[in-house]
Structure 1
Amino acid sequence: MKPDWTGRTVEAEVGPVAHGGHCVSRVDGRVVFVRHALPGEVVLAEVTEDGGGSFCRADAVRVLRAAPERVEPPCPVAGPGLCGGCDWQHASPAAQRALKADVVAEQLRRLAGLTWPVEVEPLPGGPLRWRTRVRFVAGRDGHAGLRAHRSHRVVPLADCPITAPAAVGGGLRRRWRPGSEIEVTADADARTHVRVVETVRGRERARQHAGGVAHQRAAGRDWRLAAHGFWQVHPGAADTFAAVVGEWARPSRGARVWDLYAGVGLFAAVLAERVGPDGGVLAVESGGRAVSDGQANLADLPQVRWHRGRVERVLRDVGERPEVVVLDPPRKGAGREVVDAIAAGGPERVVYVACDPAALARDVAAFAGHGYRLDRLRAFDAFPMTHHVECLALLTR
C-alpha cells in the first residue's frame, strides 16, 4: 500500500535548495520538498501533498534550528498555508540570490553537464516594490488577493510589499465581482492600467478599466505598447538586459542578425543600431499585437523586418545565414527544433535570454550537440522574494 503522509508533521533536517522555491530533505527514506525552510535548518514540517510515490510536499510550520540567513518576512501572509506569490521572504536578499545561484548551477550541471560558477546580481531598487505587473483574483467577498501555493483558494490582501504602489492601488483598493481576475500594470509614468477578466456563464469576458496603452522607457527609447502585453516586470530589467545583449551580440556593421521571440522589439532595436542601415534584423514574434506595436515603435529603423509566426515555422523558410542570433523564449525554452534551426544558420554567436534555468540548461546542451559552447553567463535577481531568476547566456561556435 502506498504511503499517504498528508497532514502528518515530521521533523526534518533541511538539505539543499531545489528548483521551484523549496528545499530537499529526507525522512524515513522518502524525499520531502519543504517550503518556508532554508538549507541547514531543522524544522517541523506539515505534509501538504502526498501522491504516494517517492516524494511528498510539506510546509515548515516550526523552526527548531534556524539558519543565520533567516529573517522576518516583510509580508504578514508570506507563511505556510498563506499567499503563494513569494517563496523566499524568510531569507535575506543576499541569501535569496545565493539560493538562486545554486539552482542555476545545479541545473547546468545536471542537464548540460557543465560545472559553472554562478553569481546572481541584484537589479536597482531593492527587493520590494519592484513588481509592475500583477494578476490579482477576487475572492467570494469581492476582496482581491492572490492564491495560496498550489491552490485555487484566494488569500485576501491589504497590500503586496513586492508590488509597485500604483499597481497595488489599481487592484486592492476596491471590490470586484467574485472570481474575477484583475490584471494591473503600472507603466514608466506610474499610470495604472487595469483589465478585468470575468467568467460569465462559463465564458471569459475581459473589460478594460483604464487605458490600454502603456508607456515604457528602455535602451534609450520611449515605447508604447499594449498595457497587458509582454514587458519586463522589474523596472530595471529591460535596460539591463538590453545593455548585456548589445555587449555580447557585437554584430558587424551591415550584418544580418535574428531576434527571435522578439516581443515589441527591445533587442531588435539594440541590434538595429549596431548593424546600421545597411544591415538587417529579422524580428520573429507570434503575437499579432506585439508585432504591430513593434512595427510602430521601430518605424525609424527600416532595417528591422518583422515576421509574425511561430519561430520554428518562420525559420524553415528564412533562407539567410545570420551573424548573430538573440532569443528570449517563453518559460519552457526554445526546444530542439528551434535550436536545430538556429544552428543550421551557422551564427557566430547566440545570446540566450532565459527565465527558467532548467529550460536554459536543456537548450545549452542541445546547442552543444551542434558545436556551440557556453562562453559567458550572467544571472539577475529580476524577481526578488520569489524563486524565479533571469539568466543571459552567450554561446559561441
Structure 2
Amino acid sequence: MKNQYQNPLFSSTKLFNARLHLANLISYFIFFVFGLTFGIIISFYLKDMSLNLQVTQFSFSASTSSTPPPLSLSLSLPPPPPPPPTTKTPNNTARIGLKQYLQLPEDLMHDMNDKELLWRASLTPKIHEYPFNRVPKIAFMFLTRGPVLLAPLWHKFFKGHEGLYSIYVHSDPSFNQSEPANSVFRGRRIPSKEVEWGNVNMIEAERRLLANALLDFSNQRFVLLSEACIPLFNFSTIYSYLMNSTQNFVEAYDLPGPVGQGRYNRHMGPTITIQDWRKGSQWFEMDRDLALEVISDEKYFSVFQKYCKGSCYADEHYLPTFVSMRFSEMNSNRTLTWVDWSKGGPHPSKFIRTDVTVELLKKLRSESNCEYNGNSTNVCYLFARKFTPHALDRLLRFAPRIMQFNR
C-alpha cells in the first residue's frame, strides 16, 4: 500500500487549500482596514456635527432669555446674505446716468484725506472728446488765512459770467465765519489744513486746491490767487487770454546767491541737482494737463518734503524746479501776477488806501512790452498784489470804470 503523502492528488488538494486560506486572510485584512477607516471617518463626522449642534444651541441660548429648546438632530443652513443696498439718485431711481455721475455738490466739503483726494483727482479720461456739451471754465483758487478780504471787488468782476468760472478757497481751518447767502464765495471753501507761509505745507495747500478743482471736468485753466490779489482786466478779457493760450505761466529762473542756489540742499541729489534748481513766484496759472502732473507728482515732491526746510521756502522753489525739469516746453517761465519789489526786502510792497489811484491802476494795465522765450506780448499781467483791505473802498470806486467790469 502506497503512502498517502506520496499521492499526487492529495498533494494538489493540499496546495489548493493553502492558497484558498491565504486569499481568505487577505480578504479579511482588506475588510478590516476598510472597516477601521470607515469607523474613523464616521467618528470625526459625528464629533463635528455634535460640536456644530452645541455651538448652534449655545448661540440660540445666548440670544434669548427663555429656556432653550430641546436639541434637534436636524441641521439648518445659515440664512442667505441680504441683498446689496440699492443706491438711489436724487430723483429716487436706481439708475445712475452720466448727468448724475458728473453732478458735483454745491458745497465743496468732503471727508477725503489728502492721499484719497490726490488719487481721486488724478483719475482722468483717456478719451479727449467729451460725450457731453462742456463749456470750459477757469478755476479761481484763493489761498487765504481767513475770508477773501477783497470779496466785494471780485463780486463785481464775476458778475454776469456765471457758468464760465469756478471758485475754491483754502483758508485756515480755524476760520469758521460763513459767507452771505448771495456771495459767490459761499460754499466754496474746501477742507483745509493749517498753513505756514513759505513752508512745504504751503505746497500741500496748493496741491489740495488743484485736486479739488480737478474734480470738475469743465475746469480747464487754474489760477492761484492770494487774499491780497486784484484783477487788472474784466472777466471777458482774462477768460479770452487764458483760453487761447497754449502756455503755462509758472515763473522760473536760475538765481545765484543765498536766496537762490544758496537754498539748495545737496541731499536732494541725484534726483534734483543744483543745475536743476529754480526760483520763482508761487502765484501761477496753468492748464489741466500740467495741473494733473503737479498733483500726481510723488518723486520730486517727496524730496522737497524731506530736505526743503528752514530757509528753503518750498513755495518759491518746488513748482519752478519741477516744471522746469519735466515740462519746460509747456511753460512760459513768467507769472501773470504783478508785485512791487522796488523797495527791496524779503516781501513785496503793500498798497494801502492812499496808494490806490487811477494812475496806478492804469500803469499796471498798460505794461505792454513784456518779452519771454523770444516772444513779445501786449499783456504782461492779468492780476496784481498786495492790496490791503483798507484799499477796498478806492478799488471799488476806480476799478469798475477803469477795468470795464460787466462788459
TM-score range, shorter chain: under 0.3
Greater share of residues in strand: 1
User: Of the two structures, which has the highest relative contact order with CA contacts closer than 8 Å and spacing of 6 or more?
Assistant: 2
Greater share of residues in helix: 2
